[in-house]
Structure 1
Amino acid sequence: MLKETVISHAVRIVCAGGVAAALSVASQSAIAQDAQGADAQIQRVEVTGSSIKRIAAEGALPVTILTAEAIRTSGATSVTDLVKKLSSAQGATTESSSVGGSTFGFSGISVHNVGETRTLVLLNGKRLAQFGGQTLTGFAAGFDLNSIPISAIQRVELLTDGASALYGADAIAGVVNFITKHDTTEGDVSIGYSAPKNGAREKRISATKGFGNLEDDGYNVVLTFGHDERDKLGSVDRSFASTGKVQFSANGKRYQKQQFSASPIPANATDDQGQLISPYQKTNGSCPDKTFRVIEPYNDGSGLVDDYCGYDFVKDLEIYPERKRDNFMASGTFKIAGQEVYADVLLSRTKQTSRIAPVPGAIAVDAGTALHNKYLLPIGITGDSTAFYRLFDMGQRTSKDTADFASVVVGTRGVAAGWDYNASYNFSESRVKGSISGYPGAIAVNNLTSSGLLDPFVGPGKQSTAAQEAIKAATFSGYWDGGTSRLQTINLNASTEVRRLPGGAMMLGVGANINREEFSAKPSPFAQGILADPVKGTLCGGTTGLECDQRFGDAASSQPYSASRTSKGVFGELIAPVLKELELGAALRFDEFSDFGGATTAKASFKWTPAPTLLIRGSVGNGFHAPTVPQVNALQRGYGVTSDKYTCTPALQAIATRLNAQCQPGNRQYDQLAGGNRDLQPEKSKQATIGFRYEPISAITLGADLWHVQIRDSFGQLTEQLVFANPANFPKSWGVNKDVGTGTTYLAFLADNQNLGKSFATGVDIDISGRYRSGIGLFTSQLNATRMLREDVQLERNGKYYSALGNFADLGTVTFRTRGQWTNTLKTGNWANSLTVNFLSGYKDQETTVDVLDASGAVTGQEKIRMEVGFYSTLDWQTVWTPSKSWVFTAGVLNLTDKSPPFVPSTSGANRGQQFGYDDRYYDPRGRTGYLNASYKF
């Protein structure tokens, strides 16, 4: 057995980092114990980032460890909330992205904003199946954190350095290992309640119980169950998110930003010049309810102006969706013939419901028809027209998503012939089903119009009784789309002591694995576009002779497909303490994939302790990230619409003419197409870290790790902003899409998967902790922060570099220069009170066109501005009362001062919901949130 020194143990515990001062409390306790008994024997353990069982403090890689106490002190009530509090994590998909987006409720984690698809998530050191709702572009091709119950977690280990040489693909940015409760006989029942104002209230309950002592009884079984549910939060319940029309001041001027849809109720229509107008406004002199007037000049120099009524869809949003989660986990370990046989089973189900404004779409209104003669001819429209309408009487569009996850691991571990070994088989599966309501077929709506029943030029509730019945009969409600992702893995890892060196034992680790990945896309017949009547399920085409219908408003047809691949990997790792003060490490791995060949990765590391109070460490290595099965194999399909609106410039018109298509009328979003690419090659990376840990006195610990990641052949799609700005430069980025409702073929943007250029990211992770014992108790202070120093990304091969570092411009996202938490805790007797400061640096918002207002509030023109979004911070308070060993009561308030998110006028961005007035990807709209938790241990 190896011994752990006082400083190494202190370094491991104190400097591992954390999100709460509870970690600092545990740290000081550990230091005090070591000071009294430094010769205590320490068991070898396996630490994330190494295959070798050894003392945790001996590692040379930056690993942040969150204990169960630190998780509790953070105030997080779920794993998704927990990762938001990590200073080194940013850029991941959040639950609110499902508001108007097809995310199926996915929530991931991204280390250093390098990407959630490049951050490997493990459960007890084992890989997990990727999300079954991932898209063909690679979005959500990670693990859904909703599947892990926070009540089952014993600790979290976060490696903020690439680890492909050990784990293979997907570990470019880092590794997050969730370690669940094992080998305990304790029981725990917890209940909790969180209460923001006017919505998003949450109730939760969990229970854990262990049976059997592994040493005495030869077995141990731990069972955990968790349930939580949250209600909706409407946009109208938050002043900063309640409308799409906002007036604000900046740059010494008064501005107005209007976020709207060109499809209101009553409908807008095109006139004989193709301009968009509002028949209601032309007739009545004002816009109808839930709309405001929009005057937009064309930017093509034609002098034409759209003058219509924009629909304020923001008022209809539920900005935080309803959610229910159930998780069950069983872990069993049995001693048989001196070895351990173990099994872990995880089952989870997440149900999420999100609602947005009623469906919009286009309806053809031909000259001479009753609608044309009644509404359009009197205002001077003599030719055919298109009405842009919202089927308000059909109700809100609703998405009900269910994500089921199952994981089963069986294995054996122990010591044989001098080797610590672990052999296992694990099976995991993610199954996602998305159901919708409030959507009709485009042909069904056109038939309603041509029959004379539907009148798009009347207000809400003004349709005839027969029309109301027909609208109800045309409403589709049921399964829409989904998928299944499956992973099977056989693993064998082993480590042993090779020889003795001056600094200790040289350790060798080896391993091999075989992976089988499968993915199936399962769109419904309606999503495939193979139904003539989506409500009745009547098939189209073939011998039926019936025309195929598609979803009204955003027609897109998907094709079902299944694909799979097999990969094999072998690796070796060597740790050599060449001197008492110096340890060197090296790892080498080779992987072979059935669909694109092999990849070799390597890593070298060192740890140097020049003084008992100082540790210096570093590493260098390379990695790779394999494309997902859908990114390679998916068929081309409609893929929603562009995030921004565009007018038809001469260059865009030339592309449309070449493809025998039409531009979208006025200033509108364009259809988007996407598909897989069988020529896609893996991303390749290089990583390096250098860091130190310093403890000048026992009460203060300082640490910092400088890291660098560079990636080439990155996966991605040419951005719409780049392509629309120079249409002729990207002739392969265009296609066409037919609107089955109007029969018009429109120009479409093709965002296919490509290997693009390079990217570079550099930053430093900092942690500082202090401890002071006074007459009133133990005071601890912990600061964790990440400072980003560089981020440069190419949007096309050999193209110019762009950066999102404090800059929302070309990449559709923001990388915050600084983010972190500072937690201060005073522990007195059986009371502990904590105050945490959460902070984010500011950034420059995306360029946005806004209206300029005069002193009276009248619009005098338009201007493009870039807002400076300021530094943002919130305070969290928590009180923990432990009256006995059995009871723990926790009360706290998140965002104590009820600080609103900063205003941002921009509206586009990657993985962004439909919310307006703030950026839902970075700021929590719940506001001040009080919570209570009670736990009984037995």
Structure 2
Amino acid sequence: MMKERGLPRSLRLMFSGGVAVGLGLLAHSVQAQETKTDDAPQQMQRVEITGSSIKRIAAEGISPITVIKADDFTKMGSTTAAEVLSNISGNQTQFNTSSNVGAGKTVGAAADLRGLGSNKTLVLLNGRRLANSAFDGSAVDLNVIPIAALDRVEVLRDGASAIYGTDAIGGVINFITKRSYTGLNVSGEGILPQQSGGAEKRVNVLGGIGDLDKDGYNFFGVIDYHTQNGVKASDRDFSKLGGQNPGVGLNASSGNSYPANFTDVGSGNSSNPYAGNCSSVSPYAFNKSGICRYNSQATIGIVPKTEEIAVIGKGTFKLGADDTASIEYLHSQSKVRTYVAGDVFAGDVSGTGSDYYITSSSPYYPGNGITPANATASGGPLSLNWRSQDAGNRVTESKNSTDRLLLSLEGTKFGWDYKTGLSYSVSKAEDNLAGGYLNNDMVKAGLLSGVINPFGPQNAAGTAFLNSAQLYGTYEDARTQTTALDFTASRELFQLPAGPVGFAIGGEYRKEKANFNVDHALADLDSSTGSQDAQSSSGQRNVKAVFTELSVPIVKSLEAQLAARYDRYSDVGGTINPKIGFRWQPAKQIMFRTSYSTGFRAPSLYELNDPNSKTFTNSAYNDPVLCPGGNVAAGGVAARDCGQQFFKLQGGNKDLQPEKSNSFTLGMVIEPIPTVTASVDYFNIKIKNQISTIPEADIFGDPTKYAGNYVRNADGSLNYVTDTNVNLGNVHTSGFDIGAAWRLPKTAWGNFGLSLDGTYVTQYDYQTETGGAYLNNLGVYGGGVGAAGGVVFRWRHTATLNWSQGPWSAAMQQVYTTGYRDQNGPNVVDAYKNHTVGSYTRYNLSGSYTGFKNLTLTAGIKNLFNTNPPGTNVTDNFQYGYDARYGDAIGRAFFIRGNYQFF
């Protein structure tokens, strides 16, 4: 035990946790302060802080850390790890569960500190790694984090590659579970949106036996179950218009239509039997230039149906006065079911057996009595662009699971604090066809034989045929596994006049494996899975690391932190990354801190080995050769070349080079009066050779620059564009993290507190190629924040007003982001090419009552004023009319939670 060094208690809280995100943490600290005066002598235990390997008093940390207590985010109705992190201002953007709509082989949900990409945010569970998601194997799937078992979440806002490894460039998020528990606790929660869809329920049970100090052991476990219903585009006003949304200038649609468009193989001319009256066949079809266009985005599900279950158990045994051994096992799995428009069958006008076409022998051939006659249909074969609305939406069910077994020892020997652990983690994922996907060969045969009607509703025989053509099962699966052995030891080496010198040394060995498997027996039967050309692949590597850290008190008010890490990758070589930091406290009321570090991130096994496969582009484009500017050129076919979702080749690239970075922070924490604390931290991060993909809009927007990315068929039509992983160039971002907390004087009406956590970004520039021009992504939708593009907000904040009195407590939370210039892409009419997306403000309200014995009741309203997400014309996602990465599609939702402590 060590005595603290004369810091006010409120300032100590500020140092150890940064300023609370505003999820009730301030109210918690206010109540704690009432039980003990600031002047009372206190004993402070040395603890391990995220971002350091040296045990110390929490107040003495140099790095800026935000701490969120589990009790506080559950009070606000947060049900997933992604939702908890969405309220952290430094988490600029994230891939959330809704982003899975229309996307295969995804991470499920991922964090993204500083907008640098989820592959540069390191996610830990109890200070150690989990296996990355099997499909998007560069990030941990947040859906498998056991949220009910958490004690707190610690977010380190500067890079820590010298401590944790090379992929901590953007920051570190450490999910920390309870260390032990005795008793039985049951919680149940329900969330009911005011509008259709999106209802949630959560049930969890926490139980444990054994007092570690008295009995020498403790066993505890948690079972957590969570579900959320899906939301359809038609359930929300901002999404029900799909691609035909004049409010934001959006004019997007698909030429793969229901009723089908056709191209006469003999003449090469395109038309539709219902041209001029497309909507009479389908409410999602409309007329344009003699053919029918299909508003596919109006038919999708915008929020997936999800189911998650997590089980974690831990046994801890006391080996002596200072040493413990533990065994911990985690199993977590999630299912995400997404819905998109019906299956697509696009002809190539070749008139061969490889095409989707009908002949004049079909009863549905135009003019044969069922389908209206059309002058373009000359009597020869008709190549079709058809969407199977009759077979229903395409339904994909993605399953992800994570298992981790950890054996660990920690304690004190010979004056050293030590910890060591042996862990085995495995992540599995699979994508399953669950409805609406049709057998290509059967569809071709059904069209040729005249059983299938491509121009209207099916008769009984056609319906039965499509039902028999449905495909089900797993078409692609993946597995990543990590075996790791780590050891860290730390102690005070000797005393200097200013205090003790702290020292830590450690090492780590990891073996990583990844396997990606394609079931061609199934994948080859449907054109829209994108896996026909993919080949199963695998990769593995060994990583060896040694690291050291030194804490040196230069004078009483000035301390230095020196750290260095050497990593050796079996496939990309070795790297040394140092970190240096200083903490200066010239007076009790003020503290300054600064740090500088370098980073090195090797391409992940997924980025290197992901099987190359073709999938449709997210948005619709014009072939720059055969339909420049939307006008059909010689050899072009309107239904094939204009306003189409073309194929793009995506996947790994074995020629990727590592990313390198430099990070600098400078900050201060002040307490001008005992009830007010504030912090400002400047960050500046530069990354070289960022690994991502070229935004597809850039490829189609500059066909001359990206001419090498276009792959064409023998007849000149576009086969696909190449958009695999590449080293794009550099990224440079800087800004300020700002926090404030004010504990108001105690009143007869209760205790009040205010808190603010905000991030102001001053720069975000990126390159789309090595040595290329820098582009701005700050307050402008661009391609600097991942493959799908996105925006870096100039300002984001979470502000909270807390109140408590006796057994009652309440919190009002405001979450705010500034507006930005919209994507304004090729599917936007000219009048909206300068459209801006407005700022976005949501309020959440909650209240709790603890007056019943062993029972805590919490109720609240999320999105109190039912604020719709701001309208946008972005088409990089499958959800149109708003951006699912930043906007809340659920709207106002009421929640209630009960927690009962049995013993």
Which runs of structure 2 are paired with 1:479-490 in the superposition (5 Å)? Answer: 479-490=474-485
Q: Hey, what does 1:225 align to over in structure 2?
A: 223
Which of these residues, 762, 766, 776, is aligned with residue 749 of structure 2? Answer: 776
Per the TM alignment, residue 380 of structure 1 is displaced from its structure 2 partner at its CA by: 2.9
Per the TM alignment, residue 525 of structure 1 is displaced from its structure 2 partner at its CA by: 2.4
The yes-or-no answer on 1:515 pairing with 2:517 is no
The yes-or-no answer on 1:417 pairing with 2:401 is no
The yes-or-no answer on 1:684 pairing with 2:660 is yes
Per the TM alignment, residue 730 of structure 1 is displaced from its structure 2 partner at its CA by: 3.4
The yes-or-no answer on 1:788 pairing with 2:761 is yes
Distance 1:428 1:554 in 2: 29
Which of these residues, 108, 113, 128, is aligned with residue 126 of structure 1? Answer: 128
Which of these residues, 560, 569, 572, is aligned with residue 536 of structure 2? Answer: 560
Distance 1:237 1:894 in 2: 18
Paired AA for residue 817 in structure 1 = R
After superposition, the Cα gap between the structure-2 partners of 1:343 and 1:888, relative to the gap in structure 1 and judged at 3 Å, is: same
The yes-or-no answer on 1:360 pairing with 2:344 is yes
For the 8 Å contact 1:181–1:222, the answer to whether it is kept is no
For the 8 Å contact 1:528–1:559, the answer to whether it is kept is no
After superposition, the Cα gap between the structure-2 partners of 1:723 and 1:783, relative to the gap in structure 1 and judged at 3 Å, is: same
Which structure 2 residue ranges, 5 or more long, are not aligned?
348-355
SS at match of 1:448: helix
Q: Which moved more, 1:72-81 or 1:631-640?
A: 631-640
Per the TM alignment, residue 402 of structure 1 is displaced from its structure 2 partner at its CA by: 1.5
After superposition, the Cα gap between the structure-2 partners of 1:286 and 1:559, relative to the gap in structure 1 and judged at 3 Å, is: closer
Per the TM alignment, residue 81 of structure 1 is displaced from its structure 2 partner at its CA by: 1.4
SS at match of 2:865: coil
After superposition, the Cα gap between the structure-2 partners of 1:553 and 1:825, relative to the gap in structure 1 and judged at 3 Å, is: closer
Per the TM alignment, residue 873 of structure 1 is displaced from its structure 2 partner at its CA by: 0.4
Distance 1:259 1:871 in 2: 24
The yes-or-no answer on 1:144 pairing with 2:141 is yes
Distance 1:396 1:247 in 2: 22
The yes-or-no answer on 1:328 pairing with 2:311 is yes
Distance 2:13 2:31 in 1: 10
What CA deviation, in whole Å up to 9, does each residue of 1:744-787 have, x standing for no partner?
97431011322221110111111111112111111001111111
Q: Hey, what does 1:822 align to over in structure 2?
A: 799
After superposition, the Cα gap between the structure-2 partners of 1:639 and 1:918, relative to the gap in structure 1 and judged at 3 Å, is: same
For the 8 Å contact 1:20–1:74, the answer to whether it is kept is no
After superposition, the Cα gap between the structure-2 partners of 1:624 and 1:651, relative to the gap in structure 1 and judged at 3 Å, is: farther
Q: Hey, what does 1:845 align to over in structure 2?
A: 822
Per the TM alignment, residue 707 of structure 1 is displaced from its structure 2 partner at its CA by: 0.7
Paired AA for residue 494 in structure 2 = R
What CA deviation, in whole Å up to 9, does each residue of 1:520-574 have, x standing for no partner?
1122224553xxxxxxxxxxxxxxxxxxx44358674321122111010000000
Distance 1:804 1:674 in 2: 23
Which runs of structure 2 are paired with 1:738-887 in the superposition (5 Å)? Answer: 746-772=718-744, 773-811=746-784, 812-848=789-825, 863=831, 865-884=833-852, 886-887=854-855
- TM-score normalised by structure 1 residue count: 0.89
Paired AA for residue 213 in structure 1 = D
Q: Hey, what does 2:594 align to over in structure 1?
A: 618
Per the TM alignment, residue 737 of structure 1 is displaced from its structure 2 partner at its CA by: 7.1
What CA deviation, in whole Å up to 9, does each residue of 1:423-466 have, x standing for no partner?
110111111122112111323211111112112122x3xx2322
Q: Hey, what does 1:309 align to over in structure 2?
A: 292
Q: Hey, what does 2:575 align to over in structure 1?
A: 599
For the 8 Å contact 1:264–1:309, the answer to whether it is kept is yes
Per the TM alignment, residue 248 of structure 1 is displaced from its structure 2 partner at its CA by: 4.5
Per the TM alignment, residue 141 of structure 1 is displaced from its structure 2 partner at its CA by: 1.9
Which structure 1 residue ranges, 5 or more long, are not aligned?
135-139, 250-254, 296-305, 530-548, 853-861
Per the TM alignment, residue 843 of structure 1 is displaced from its structure 2 partner at its CA by: 0.5
For the 8 Å contact 1:491–1:512, the answer to whether it is kept is yes
For the 8 Å contact 2:249–2:873, the answer to whether it is kept is no
Q: Hey, what does 1:94 align to over in structure 2?
A: 96
SS at match of 1:932: strand
Which of these residues, 890, 903, 907, is aligned with residue 871 of structure 2? Answer: 903
Q: Hey, what does 1:923 align to over in structure 2?
A: 887
Distance 1:61 1:311 in 2: 53
Per the TM alignment, residue 103 of structure 1 is displaced from its structure 2 partner at its CA by: 4.8
**Paired-residue identity, %:** 30
Distance 1:664 1:264 in 2: 11
After superposition, the Cα gap between the structure-2 partners of 1:895 and 1:6, relative to the gap in structure 1 and judged at 3 Å, is: farther
Distance 1:124 1:503 in 2: 32
For the 8 Å contact 2:306–2:334, the answer to whether it is kept is yes
Distance 1:850 1:564 in 2: 42
Distance 1:402 1:147 in 2: 11
The yes-or-no answer on 1:573 pairing with 2:549 is yes
For the 8 Å contact 2:828–2:873, the answer to whether it is kept is no
For the 8 Å contact 1:105–1:401, the answer to whether it is kept is no
For the 8 Å contact 1:769–1:781, the answer to whether it is kept is yes
Which runs of structure 2 are paired with 1:392-791 in the superposition (5 Å)? Answer: 392-436=389-433, 437-458=435-456, 460=457, 463-526=458-521, 529=524, 549-551=525-527, 556-641=532-617, 643-649=619-625, 664-736=640-712, 746-772=718-744, 773-791=746-764
Paired AA for residue 516 in structure 1 = K
Q: Hey, what does 1:2 align to over in structure 2?
A: 2
For the 8 Å contact 1:240–1:917, the answer to whether it is kept is yes
The yes-or-no answer on 1:209 pairing with 2:207 is yes
Paired AA for residue 847 in structure 1 = N
Per the TM alignment, residue 478 of structure 1 is displaced from its structure 2 partner at its CA by: 1.4
Distance 2:328 2:712 in 1: 50
Paired AA for residue 627 in structure 1 = P
The yes-or-no answer on 1:169 pairing with 2:146 is no
After superposition, the Cα gap between the structure-2 partners of 1:580 and 1:760, relative to the gap in structure 1 and judged at 3 Å, is: same
For the 8 Å contact 1:265–1:457, the answer to whether it is kept is yes
Per the TM alignment, residue 14 of structure 1 is displaced from its structure 2 partner at its CA by: 3.5
Q: Hey, what does 2:110 align to over in structure 1?
A: 108
Per the TM alignment, residue 5 of structure 1 is displaced from its structure 2 partner at its CA by: 3.7
The yes-or-no answer on 1:380 pairing with 2:381 is no
For the 8 Å contact 1:642–1:671, the answer to whether it is kept is no
Distance 2:278 2:183 in 1: 72
Which of these residues, 187, 199, 209, is aligned with residue 184 of structure 2? Answer: 187
Distance 2:602 2:596 in 1: 20
Distance 2:593 2:249 in 1: 53
SS at match of 2:274: helix
Paired AA for residue 613 in structure 1 = Q
SS at match of 2:443: helix
Distance 1:801 1:663 in 2: 37
Distance 1:885 1:610 in 2: 48
For the 8 Å contact 1:514–1:569, the answer to whether it is kept is yes
Per the TM alignment, residue 866 of structure 1 is displaced from its structure 2 partner at its CA by: 2.4
Q: Hey, what does 1:289 align to over in structure 2?
A: 282
After superposition, the Cα gap between the structure-2 partners of 1:730 and 1:231, relative to the gap in structure 1 and judged at 3 Å, is: closer
RMSD: 2.7
After superposition, the Cα gap between the structure-2 partners of 1:685 and 1:485, relative to the gap in structure 1 and judged at 3 Å, is: same
Q: Which moved more, 1:188-197 or 1:14-23?
A: 14-23
After superposition, the Cα gap between the structure-2 partners of 1:662 and 1:267, relative to the gap in structure 1 and judged at 3 Å, is: closer
Distance 1:206 1:906 in 2: 38
Per the TM alignment, residue 708 of structure 1 is displaced from its structure 2 partner at its CA by: 1.0
Q: Hey, what does 1:263 align to over in structure 2?
A: 256
Distance 2:417 2:637 in 1: 66
Paired AA for residue 778 in structure 2 = L
Paired AA for residue 376 in structure 2 = G
What CA deviation, in whole Å up to 9, does each residue of 1:131-189 have, x standing for no partner?
0121xxxxx62111111121100111100100001111210000011110113324321
Distance 1:313 1:662 in 2: 18
After superposition, the Cα gap between the structure-2 partners of 1:509 and 1:334, relative to the gap in structure 1 and judged at 3 Å, is: same
Distance 1:621 1:560 in 2: 38
Q: Which moved more, 1:349-358 or 1:553-562?
A: 553-562
After superposition, the Cα gap between the structure-2 partners of 1:92 and 1:286, relative to the gap in structure 1 and judged at 3 Å, is: closer
After superposition, the Cα gap between the structure-2 partners of 1:864 and 1:277, relative to the gap in structure 1 and judged at 3 Å, is: farther
SS at match of 1:471: helix
SS at match of 2:115: coil
Q: Hey, what does 1:59 align to over in structure 2?
A: 61
Per the TM alignment, residue 9 of structure 1 is displaced from its structure 2 partner at its CA by: 4.3
Q: Which moved more, 1:353-362 or 1:514-523?
A: 353-362
What CA deviation, in whole Å up to 9, does each residue of 1:844-876 have, x standing for no partner?
101245787xxxxxxxxx545121111110111
Per the TM alignment, residue 241 of structure 1 is displaced from its structure 2 partner at its CA by: 1.3
Q: Hey, what does 1:70 align to over in structure 2?
A: 72
